[in-house]
Amino acid sequence: MNPRLLNAALLAALLSACATTAPQPDPTSVAHSTPVRPPPDLLTVPERYSSEDSTQDELDSLATWPAEDGRTWLIASAKSTHRLVVFDADSGERLRTFGGEGNGPGQFNRPNGVAVHGDQLFVVERDNHRVQVFSLPDLAPIGSFGGSELRSPYGIWLTETEPGELEVYITDSFMYGKRFDEVPPFAELDQRVRRYRVKFDQAGRLMANYGGSFGDTREAAALRMVESIAGDPANDRILVADEDRRHESTLREYTFSGKYTGRSLPQASFGAEAEGVALWTCPDGSGYWIAVDQLAPLTIFHLFDRVTLEPRGSFQGQLTAHTDGVALHAAATPSFPGGALFAVHDDKAVTAFDLRDVAKALSLTRGCIE
């Protein structure tokens, strides 16, 4: 193991024996959770690396992109420095930063969710109330959308519905009150997920149309504080993370028509905040959902069957803590022939898990990594 990572893990073990344009508190960034008893069958999977710490950035969300030179980029949003940070996904080396505070093209105000489709990067900005789109690798601005509807956007997930046309889903966690920590009336919670139809013309210009919003408005099932979102078109399933522990923090299941199915993942509440979520697909159509449980002192990653949502095990690393975003890169890279799971560590670094290590520890289907 990386000596710096081992020393950090040993030290941790020893220590443990928006509706307005003005800046506002982040209601989804609840203070680091108090210790909760972990699952009895919890396993440990050592990280393959941890990047150098950057405490000023407040890293949040992750996405990957295979570059033309053979490298894989790991792109992270940095909320406090209003920029993007690009890492080498194989080593954790910091390659470059991009952006800065502002509201012009290529500038950001609290960037949060990030997503990649082809050679296009989508970046959600909470306090600019928009989604910017950039070309890769030059990060040249292509355009933006959502400014007329988005109030306090956080997470993003997208899928190609037909050649050249995307369906983009954005979580919108607008809150009320002097501290922006009051959940809106239930009648307004049908605006928690907004969708857009996005395509690019022959000249590469962005065209986006708002397709409405959804969210259950019943008291028992309403989405109170939302951020992470991910979908599985093959199973007509969208999972939305509700982080409000004052009620129940979990991932709720919706259909692509925007209807809540009545199921949550897992069936009981998470021990702490339900954060990042990623789908690990296998060639035969099976696979696993990986969901973050932001427990202290270490993040726990829960795995669930892609089709049935039945639990398939849980693991933690030796260092990774207080995780917000994750990204799963199933394609082979030089350091990760079976793919990798990347996670944000304590808002200041990125860590990497080898999917072969995860599959071996949890006795998962080997077809996913071969």
- For residue 303, the domain's CATH number is 2.120.10.30
- H, E, C per residue of 284-345: CCCEEEEEEECCCCCCEEEEEECCCCCEEEEEECCCCCCCCCEEEECCCCCCCCCCEEEEEE
Question: Across residues 329-355, what is the average pLDDT?
Answer: 97
Return the closest-CA partner of residue 252 out of 264, 269, 243: 264
pLDDT-derived band of residue 265, with 50, 70 and 90 as boundaries? confident
* Domain membership flag for residue 23: no
25-34, 140-149, 156-165, 242-251: segment of lowest average pLDDT? 25-34
pLDDT digit string, tens, across residues 206-262: 999 999 999 999 999 999 999 999 999 999 999 999 999 989 899 999 999 999 999
* Domain membership flag for residue 242: yes
Q: Which helix (H) or strand (E) holds 226?
A: strand 226-232
Q: Which helix (H) or strand (E) holds 72?
A: strand 72-78
Neighbours of 201 (CB within 10 A): 9
Q: What percent of the chain has pLDDT over 90?
A: 82
pLDDT at residue 120 greater than cutoff 80: yes
d(Cα 110, Cα 337) in Å, to the nearest integer?
34
Exposed, middle or buried: residue 157 (CB in 10 Å: 0-12, 13-18, 19+)?
Answer: buried
pLDDT-derived band of residue 153, with 50, 70 and 90 as boundaries? very high
d(Cα 71, Cα 333) in Å, to the nearest integer?
8
- Mean of per-residue pLDDT scores for the chain: 91
Q: How many domains does the chain have?
A: 1
Q: What is the DSSP string of 161-193?
A: EETTEEEEEEEE---BTTTT-BPPPGGGGGGSE
pLDDT at residue 6 greater than cutoff 70: no
What is the reported pLDDT for 37?
A: 56
Neighbours of 117 (CB within 10 A): 16
pLDDT at residue 140 greater than cutoff 80: yes
Question: Across residues 182-189, what is the average pLDDT?
Answer: 98
d(Cα 230, Cα 339) in Å, to the nearest integer?
19
* Domain membership flag for residue 30: no
pLDDT at residue 35 greater than cutoff 90: no
pLDDT-derived band of residue 13, with 50, 70 and 90 as boundaries? very low
Return the closest-CA partner of residue 339 out of 301, 303, 366: 366
What is the reported pLDDT for 367?
A: 79
* Domain membership flag for residue 3: no
64-78, 103-117, 255-269, 347-361: segment of lowest average pLDDT? 255-269
Q: How many helices (H) and strands (E) does the chain have?
A: 2, 25
Neighbours of 142 (CB within 10 A): 16
pLDDT at residue 5 greater than cutoff 80: no
d(Cα 18, Cα 139) in Å, to the nearest integer?
26
Question: Across residues 335-341, what is the average pLDDT?
Answer: 97
Q: Which helix (H) or strand (E) holds 358?
A: helix 355-362
* Domain membership flag for residue 8: no
Greatest Cα-to-Cα distance within the chain, rounded to the nearest angstrom: 61
pLDDT at residue 2 greater than cutoff 90: no
**Helix (H, G, I), strand (E, B), or coil: what is residue 266?**
coil
What is the reported pLDDT for 253?
A: 97
Burial string for 32-42 (b: 16+ CB within 10 Å, else e) reads: ebeeeeebeeb
What is the reported pLDDT for 365?
A: 79
Neighbours of 329 (CB within 10 A): 22
31-35, 70-74, 317-321: segment of lowest average pLDDT? 31-35
pLDDT digit string, tens, across residues 42-81: 999 999 999 999 999 999 999 999 999 999 999 999 999 9
What is the reported pLDDT for 29?
A: 55
Cβ atoms of 92 and 348 within 8 Å: the answer is: no
d(Cα 27, Cα 245) in Å, to the nearest integer?
11
* Domain membership flag for residue 1: no
pLDDT-derived band of residue 370, with 50, 70 and 90 as boundaries? low
Higher pLDDT, 11 or 267: 267
* Domain membership flag for residue 81: yes
Full domain range(s) for residue 52: 36-365
* Domain membership flag for residue 14: no
